[in-house]
Amino acid sequence: MVLVRFELVQTFLSRDFQYKAIMQAESQRQRDCHARRMSSDVARPGQRAVTRRLAAKMAHTSNGLSKAVAILTSDGTAPGDLETLAKVVAKTPTDAADFPEATRATIAVEGAEAKNRVFVDPSTVLTAILACANNSSSDIAGVCFEHVKSLLGRAHSGGKNHFLSFFSFLIEEVARDPAGKCFKALSTAKYIAIAKPKSSVPGDIRPIGITSVFRRIYGKYVMIESGKLLGGVLSSRKCNPQFAVGVSSGANILGLATSIQREVAPTHVSAAIDVKNAFNELQRPLLFEALSKFRENFRCPKELRRYDAFLAYARSHYAHGPQELSSFMSDGERKDVMCSRGVNQGCPHGTALFSIALDFIVLAVFEEHGHLFPSVSSNWFADDGVASGPVLRSSSSHASEASTLTKQASSSPSKD
């Protein structure tokens, strides 16, 4: 990395570097491509056609049949009116617990040591950029992945990709920043409300934060580096495996595990667990306590390096105060919504962060209350879980051990 930095500085300071000429050539290339597309006799695909292509790709390449069905049956976004804005604000808690001194001290130490732990590989950054799906939502500045791919996904002068090197350098500097100087720029997001027609609450929505393209590429890079590492720990839990991170077709595996449980123990009962507004209600002090605890699962220097990069990403986005999210009305008016809790749905690392926090909570529930349900186990896909176990009968009541776990897990995320 020292050589890469030295070469980067030499390149950008060298008088021979034709930065302006490369930018002009790239701009001309994009104008030429746009002209060819506009002059083509082939009609631009409609929204429905794009949706079908995305669903087909999801089904065939990722074996994500359930996700493909969700894409095809989605009712899209809720209308941009005051009623939707009120629902968004109601699901975005502004009250937050203070970080305990011990947690703040741990975050400060980890941030100070990041310069010796976090290194960014440009080739992996390129892989992350090329893995970003086209036709995704633009960020608050109107930038899409297609714009970045055309600039960073190909070589330029002399067969070198100077923009990619500089972009990787920026990611590394952001990850190493212990004071959170880039926090506001990184945490800002465009808030959209996804309609939930199957919800028991009429007109219910799911707020999704469309973060900047820079942050999404940064997040994909981190998940390429550490996704399977995190998933290997979470999915291997003996009693409470989590299949939402680093596991292909995790939702299908959850259903399969439940079916196998019923076949193996037909006298057991299963209880579905769905934590209400889970991603938005999560207290951030608890999140960082869980992240520090989760680090104890790793001993190998290579694994620790990858996890520290993931931890630096979380720290740069959630450890420095409330986020400013922007919700747009139908007429284009911008409304600011402050967010002090939770993790953003719609960000590549959001599910991983939530899953680690939930894993921490479930393990604590089993350690503290496990004597009440010694034969119960649970399987999870993000905030959707299934607890299974025998029916416990006593002289005073007939209660299911699984339902006890349901109550404990459903109430824990909202606690400090």
State how far the Cα of 309 lies from the Cα of 118, in Å rounded to an integer: 5
Tens-place pLDDT, residues 65-89: 545 555 444 556 777 788 888 888 8
Helix residue ranges per DSSP H, 132-202: 145-152, 162-175, 183-187
pLDDT digits (tens, 9 = 90+) for 209-221: 888 888 888 888 8
Give tens-digit pLDDT for 284-308.
889 999 999 999 999 888 888 889 8
Residue-wise pLDDT for 215-272, tens only, equals 888 888 888 888 889 999 999 888 889 988 888 878 888 888 888 877 888 888 888 8
Lowest mean pLDDT among 2-6, 94-98, 203-207: 2-6
pLDDT band at 6; cut points 50, 70, 90 = very low
* CA dist., res. 295 & res. 219, Å (int): 19
Residue 159: how many other CB atoms lie within 10 Å: 6
Contact 341, 280 (CB under 8 A): yes
Phi/psi-derived region of residue 180, left when phi > 0, alpha when psi is between -120 and 50, beta in every other case = left
| Alpha-carbon separation of residue 287 from 19, 103, 177, 221, 360 (angstroms) | 43, 10, 20, 21, 9
Q: Which of 405, 398, 406, 389 is nearest to 265 (CA)?
A: 389
pLDDT for 414 equals 47
Q: What SS3 state is found at 90? A: helix
Report the chain's terminal Cα–Cα distance, integer Å.
Answer: 40
User: Which pLDDT value is given to residue 383?
Assistant: 86
Neighbouring-strand partners of residue 397? none
Evaluate whether 107 touches 351 at the Cβ level (below 8 Å): no
pLDDT at 261: 79
User: Is the pLDDT at 195 greater than 60, yes or no?
Assistant: yes
* Residue 328 exposed, middle or buried by CB count within 10 Å (0-12, 13-18, 19+): middle
CA distance 370 to 295: 24
CA angle 388-390-393, nearest 5°? Answer: 140
- Which one has a higher pLDDT value, 349 or 115? 349
Does pLDDT of 364 surpass 50? Answer: yes
What is the model's pLDDT at position 356?
94
pLDDT recorded at residue 353: 92
DSSP 256-297: HHHHHHHHH-TT-EEEEEE-TTHHHH--HHHHHHHHHHHGGG
pLDDT band, very low/low/confident/very high, at 327 (cuts 50, 70, 90):
confident
pLDDT band, residue 176 (cuts 50/70/90): confident
325 Ramachandran zone, left/alpha/beta (phi>0; psi -120 to 50): beta
pLDDT at 403 over 70: no
Query: Average of pLDDT values for 388-393?
Result: 74
